[in-house]
Amino acid sequence: MPHKLLFGLAAAQTGTQTFSSAGTFSWTAPTGVTSVTVTGRGGSNSTAWTTATAYFYLTTGPFYNLGTSSGKTSIGSSLTYEAVKSQANTRLLQFTGVTTDSAGENVNHTYDEYYYYTGEGWFKETDGSTRLYRRTGTVGSAGGLFSNSGTVPTSGASFSLQSNATNLEANIPISGGNSSALGANFIAGQAQSTVTKTAVAGQTYSIVVGANEGSTVSFITLSW
């Protein structure tokens, strides 16, 4: 009776590798592996308290011929520093009673921007945002506005109308880093997700694990 030769088929190579520390790494696709599943998550987001002036504007400008006057409020052909100081004092009131509690409180922070357009005159626009604020003392005001008086020139110093509240802190978001691998991207602050059957060849790839600003959650896992 003739003999039959039996040839065993080699089992497909499998494996898993996880990168769980923030940073940039290299991964080389094993011989024979043509696709991988990528599971990952970007870094965690957080918040921080800041005293940066930009979060406490009362007034700012002037901006000369910047953009268009469309949508802004016309306030005449002439503007005085005294009028802007009066408006700054009005805007300061939004902060005077803010809590001193470490948790802060939500404040709808608004401030006024002043624009001059040649041939059109002065315009005002209100800007702002809502975020957590807390007081560190008695609220005051500061800025280049208070060292000027008389009529605001229609050209020249671009920030002579700037003023801001003092003795405050604002709570601002800090974004973690994104993670990425083999063309798959994982945005900071989002839940983990999986991309299946990503094609690979026998070469080295860059793996990025995003930085965490809060708890340690970022990672990349490759499965094949």
Do residues 78 and 138 share a domain? yes
Do residues 69 and 129 share a domain? yes
The full length of the chain comes to 224
Do residues 151 and 41 share a domain? no
Do residues 168 and 179 share a domain? no
Residue 93 to residue 107: CA distance in whole angstroms: 11
Domain-embedded: residue 214: yes
Domain-embedded: residue 152: yes
Residue 188 to residue 178: CA distance in whole angstroms: 5
Do residues 190 and 158 share a domain? no
Do residues 102 and 156 share a domain? yes
pLDDT of the chain, 224 residues: tens digit per residue: 554 444 444 455 899 999 999 999 999 999 999 999 999 999 999 999 999 999 999 999 999 999 999 999 999 999 999 999 999 999 999 999 999 999 999 999 999 999 999 999 999 999 999 999 999 999 999 999 999 999 999 998 889 999 999 999 999 999 999 999 999 999 999 999 999 988 999 899 999 999 999 999 999 999 99
Do residues 169 and 179 share a domain? no
Domain-embedded: residue 79: yes
Under 8 Å between Cβ of 219 and 19: yes
List the domain range (segments joined by +) for residue 144: 47-173
Could you tell me the two tokens for 172? 């601002």
Please give the model's pTM, rounded to 2 decimal places: 0.77
Do residues 149 and 61 share a domain? yes
Side-chain-side CA neighbours of residue 87 (13 Å): 23
Q: Indicate the number of domains in the chain.
A: 2
Do residues 77 and 95 share a domain? yes
